[in-house]
Each structure stands twice: as C-alpha cells, then as structure tokens.
Homo-oligomer: A and B are copies of this chain.
Amino acid sequence: MKEFDINSLDDVIHGRIRLGIMAFLVGAETTDFSALKTHLGATDGNLSVHLRKLEEADYVKVEKSFRNRKPLTTITLTTTGRQAFVRYLDSIGKLIS
C-alpha cells in the first residue's frame, strides 16, 4: 500500500461543506442552489462562500437565470472538478486501505 500523504489532499475539496457539494454533484451533475442547500443543511451565506471557492478553482460552474420569474442558481460540476474529485477520492482511499 502506498502511504497516505496529507499533502496530497486537495484543500479546495477537503473542507466539509465543499466535500458535501462535490459528493452531491458527482452524482447529480447539475443542481440548483436551494436543492443543494436543503441537502447539506447549510445556510445561504455559507453555501455561497464555498460555491465561490469551488468556482474559483473551476470545479463548478454557477449560472444565474430565471424560472417562472424567480431567480434560479444552477450549479454544474465541471470536467476539471470531476477529475479533481477523482484524485481526492484516490488520496483518501489510501487512508482507508
């Protein structure tokens, strides 16, 4: 077994809320803000902060639009994000094995 290396862990993903976002998106691919908020039990402010961090890393794409005249924020996992998550799982997998 290769040794678990704490420095191999992607800090952008390792944060608890961001880990939750990524884990959700890797299954759902696309979600909207309120569904994600409900799923994680996060506040608006907290979720926004962490989404911005993931967006800055180009791990998610955040798009604002309207549906039935109400603002809708759609979050989509990017290819970069999916690859980063796979690497993260690989690193953390070494911890488990």
Contacts and interface: CB of A to CB of B under 8 A. Distances in A.
A7 B89 contact: no
Stoichiometry, copies per complex: 2
Interface stretch (A13-21, A55-63, A64-72, A73-81): A13-21
A19 B95 contact: yes
A11 interface: yes
Size bracket, chain A contacts:
10 to 19
Mostly, the A contact residues are: helix
A74 to B, nearest CB: 21
Contacts of A4: 20, 23
Given A89-B95, A92-B95, 15 more contacts: A4-B20, A4-B23, A6-B17, A6-B20, A6-B23, A6-B40, A9-B16, A9-B19, A11-B16, A19-B95, A23-B95, A89-B96, A92-B96, A93-B96, A96-B96
